[in-house]
Structure 1
């Protein structure tokens, strides 16, 4: 059969993506054998991988994170075109990323276990407005992180003070707040009202009322009670308690809330509405909703009154504020 002539030379080449290992050329020798040894084409070239471009995202309104999506990397093997696996190091596409810079890495392996890697970064920015200051005699309660885009802050006043101005402000994408800084002004008590209900409505959700009724200002129990309350003014104010005094018998009745005088008609209506008698010392504690919470027929010490309020009447918001600011009366 036809063969190859002596001294003929054969050159070996590999397909794209493979490298030759062994002799590149072989010569037909006089004894009919080829010089050298049979070379092999091996896949030593790593696959080609290209990651998505790095990107920057703004945190979503009211959140400190951004949901980020991206396409998988483009991977190609120059040898047999087969990619065995692509591994991701980091969160999956569609994950939520917190503020800061995050590096995502991909690694591709071909059938010959060659590998190649790429990476890209995701940067999440949280837009923030200037930090708000609470008003004097008040405080603020904010959502989310307090001053990030989409966060809202509600202005609240201490008991005995009323808000004047914006109640809620929202941090906008422009990094400016809506509205303007409100004030907490002293509560104005209007005693020129037509009914006891109208008087009590002014204190709704703002103050607790400790209503005292006694036969006359010289009543021993009344004098003891007022003396104790005067010495505990700080604790009363801390717990948003206003004292209402209903004294005497018609036609010489006296009613007052601090320096504000009550009309005889309002005094009588309050006593009737709250079931307070003129004949002896008695008192009632109303919560901020105007509900009768405790009654007394003898003077109550401020400590006893404060323990009852702190145990049963404080709202979650009041308790949290107290825990944060401590007790200034100690």
Structure 2
């Protein structure tokens, strides 16, 4: 009976052990396993002994320091219960626990390490640069500087601080220096002959920017190069602007001189007609005499580069009337473009109209001279007919030719006005007031030159 019960007990134990292994093991029952039995060992708990000097491994931290306090005194730096305060050197930051304790498990209660502190890389400085003493490490000093022509605005120096940030703020380089500009030299010019102006040329100013070398624009105040400059002093100014709108100006002077001769005076009983300004280099002055006067001497003079006039001053002498001529045409030619003729004819010296007209003309001698009028009188009947110019007597043949040429009758009073070109311009059959006569001449017969001189001498006869 004992031999039969032994196999049954062994089978029961085998089933019991197999069931315990599978339960909660995570394996399936269908799988096959051996029949070994494993017994869990109880963890070994060391015997606590506070007198062991190095219960935990010696504690050290790279780039840092551990200050420890042991219950057993200063010689027990890693004994059971020792507490250490951890810190890092300057420039390093502690990661982990600042305080650890040596535990009964012969391990420290925590770990820590020191990591080097770094600031971010500073950005590049536009138009400038910086230099650092120790890169991006703590206490590194970075000094900023700007390129030539720029000025630094902001912090000149920044320090990498222990919190990993840079002190101050990022500076900037600003262009505050104006550009350099140099104008051409001042210049003097002499006006050209017969002109009161001079053409002046010059090169553009030399402009350079001290910063980036870029000039935005250059403005000119004054005439352009190659302009005609009148006599006098002219200031030319240039202004240059850079990209930052800094500006710089320069100026120079253009002087134009007119070479002149002494001012000419008109001859007595005459006048001048000059080109240009009348006395500048190259100007020509023509001399003219009033009606009834002849010019003696050079007709014109020119202002020379030596500031002297060519030739000499002519004179105006009273016109010499030659009555000893062969024809009326020869007599009239002497007055061509010089004098107007007023021919007064009457049948008898006692003619009432004749006496009235002659009396009015004698009272207006000044006005007649101003208007270049010469009076010819034809009075009476042949053979006692009298013809005279001023105090000179005309021959009978000349009188007859004049009457025929101008169709002047002897039978009654009449008067003929002949202009400087020898043209019959007006006839009168009755005496005319001298004011009316002068109004007609001033309105229809005066040249522009005569009108100008008439306006200048308007009050001479008053």
Q: TM-score, normalised by structure 1?
A: 0.91
Matches of 1:307 and 1:25, distance apart in 2? 98
Residues 263-305 of structure 1 show CA distances to partners (whole Å, capped at 9, x for unaligned) of 2221111110000112222221101111111112233332332
CA-CA distance at 1:243 after TM superposition: 0.8
Matches of 2:339 and 2:429, distance apart in 1? 22
1:209 equivalent in structure 2: 341
SS across alignment from 1:163: strand
Matches of 2:163 and 2:436, distance apart in 1? 120
Matched ranges for 1:236-315 at <5 A: 236-315=368-447
Matches of 1:311 and 1:10, distance apart in 2? 97
Matches of 1:286 and 1:77, distance apart in 2? 80
Which of 223, 231, 249 aligns to 1:117? It is 249
1:61 equivalent in structure 2: 193
Matches of 2:242 and 2:186, distance apart in 1? 25
Matches of 2:262 and 2:435, distance apart in 1? 42
CA-CA distance at 1:181 after TM superposition: 0.8
2:125 equivalent in structure 1: none
Q: TM-score, normalised by structure 2?
A: 0.66
Q: Is 1:104–2:239 an aligned residue pair?
A: no
Residues 147-178 of structure 1 show CA distances to partners (whole Å, capped at 9, x for unaligned) of 22233322221111111112222222322122
Residues 64-117 of structure 1 show CA distances to partners (whole Å, capped at 9, x for unaligned) of 333322222111112211111111222222333332222111111111111111
Which of 55, 59, 84 aligns to 2:216? It is 84
2:329 equivalent in structure 1: 197
Gaps of 5+ in 1: none
Q: What number of residue pairs does the alignment pair up?
A: 330
Which of 149, 167, 170 aligns to 1:38? It is 170
Gaps of 5+ in 2: 1-115, 119-134
Which of 146, 149, 153 aligns to 1:14? It is 146
Matches of 2:276 and 2:213, distance apart in 1? 50
Instruction: Tell which structure's C-alpha radius of gyration is larger.
Output: 2
Which of 337, 361, 365 aligns to 1:229? It is 361
CA-CA distance at 1:185 after TM superposition: 0.5
SS across alignment from 2:145: coil
Matches of 2:353 and 2:247, distance apart in 1? 92
Matches of 1:244 and 1:95, distance apart in 2? 59
Matches of 2:319 and 2:140, distance apart in 1? 112
CA-CA distance at 1:27 after TM superposition: 4.1
2:269 equivalent in structure 1: 137
SS across alignment from 1:53: coil
Out of 177-186 and 148-157, give the one that drifted further: 148-157
Matches of 1:179 and 1:141, distance apart in 2? 16
CA-CA distance at 1:242 after TM superposition: 0.7
RMSD after superposition: 2.3
Q: Is 1:163–2:295 an aligned residue pair?
A: yes
CA-CA distance at 1:7 after TM superposition: 4.1
2:313 equivalent in structure 1: 181
CA-CA distance at 1:33 after TM superposition: 3.7
Residues 229-265 of structure 1 show CA distances to partners (whole Å, capped at 9, x for unaligned) of 2222222222211111223333333221112222222
SS across alignment from 1:12: strand
Matches of 2:277 and 2:194, distance apart in 1? 8
Matches of 2:401 and 2:305, distance apart in 1? 54
Matches of 1:4 and 1:27, distance apart in 2? 9
Matches of 1:197 and 1:109, distance apart in 2? 81
CA-CA distance at 1:16 after TM superposition: 2.5
Q: Which one scores higher on RCO, CA 8 angstroms, separation ≥ 6?
A: 1
Matches of 1:4 and 1:223, distance apart in 2? 129
